[in-house]
Amino acid sequence: MSKRENVKPAAAAGKTIGLPRALLYHRFGVLWQAFFENLGCQVVMSPPTNRELLKTGDQVTVDEACLSTKIYMGHVKALIGKCDYILVPWISNYGRLRVYCTKFTSLYDMVANTFRSTGQSFIAYSVDEIYGKTNEKKGFVQMAGELGFSAKTAERAYKQAKRTEQEDWKEKVRTEEAKWRQPGLKILIAAHSYVAQDAWIGAPVKDYLTKMGAVPILADRVNRKEALKQSARFSPTMKWELNREIAGSLCMNKNRADGIVLLSAFPCGPDAMTNEMIIRRVHDIPILQMTLDGQDGTAGQETRLESFLDILNFKKEAAPCSVK
């Protein structure tokens, strides 16, 4: 990915970089923002997801795309004309068994072609350690080079941004761990960060559980290395890194949770397989599977969550679950 369409060659110091607040923003947003700010760029984010953003994304995206992709396209549209460049990363894998969903390798082309007539400039960095021999650091340095920055400047900015990201992640993990000590039913939310943390589709689920006195805990906010290691108990060949982290987290925390909510955006392919595996292999603990489709009303979700909490209260003294 050495050259991009609609990328201006001049150095971008002082320019504005747009970050769509969707998909991998919820995983790498801190890294992205810190990196560009370290280069002297300004950063602007799209607003939290709302009905209009989803509607806009749905209109410009093919019907077969998953809900999360449609939301992302709405966020990109919201940034058009409001920044000099919009970041759309190209991520294939971070190595063996650390593969990402194929939508993350097609996203740049989808965005660039969908909005090709707007005059908006897009930038990207590539991560493909298996075939392209390009790691994250190299991808960031190459991207900065396309914007006119020297390799030395880019490496320094990346190193500082990586420290910022690591400290932020440690704090998030500590915050999530503290929730296990709070009173109330502990509900593990097994979902991608871009689903669970999305203001329109995932946040209402967490908010309702909190309103009902339960304690929703994000399964993916754990020690990632340990979660990837533990995921082998589910499947030694599961290749999607994000799903492996979730599965590993369930292994790490299953004996502390009162219930599990499998939260997916329709129609997520990796989730369709891994969630079925989780349901078949995690026993003695209630599991609620919810597929979000972007509908406005939340009454159906609330009814299912309320019934689920009733079940958990009845089984509060049940023995810990087991993985077989």
200-242 pLDDT, tens digit per residue, is 999 999 999 999 999 999 999 999 999 999 999 888 888 899 9
For 8-51, what is each residue's pLDDT tens digit? 444 667 899 999 999 999 999 999 999 999 999 999 999 999 99
Instruction: Identify residue 86 by its one-letter amino acid code.
Output: I
User: Radius of gyration (Cα) for the chain, nearest Å?
Assistant: 20
E strand or H helix at 277, and its extent?
helix 269-281
Based on the number of CB atoms within 10 Å of its own CB, is 211 exposed (0-12), middle (13-18) or buried (19 or more)?
exposed
Based on the number of CB atoms within 10 Å of its own CB, is 309 exposed (0-12), middle (13-18) or buried (19 or more)?
buried
Residue 7 has pLDDT above 50, yes or no: no
For 107-147, what is each residue's pLDDT tens digit? 999 999 999 999 999 999 999 999 999 999 999 999 999 99
- C-beta separation of 77 from 27 below 8 A: no
* C-alpha span between 323 and 18 (Å, rounded): 43
pTM as predicted: 0.91
Give the other-Cβ count within 10 Å of 48's Cβ. 14
Closest CA relative to residue 68, chosen from 202, 195, 246: 195
β-pair type (282-283, 322-323): antiparallel
* C-alpha span between 242 and 84 (Å, rounded): 31
The structure tokens listed for 1 are 């990915």
Please report where in the chains the tokens 């058009």 appear, as a residue: 80
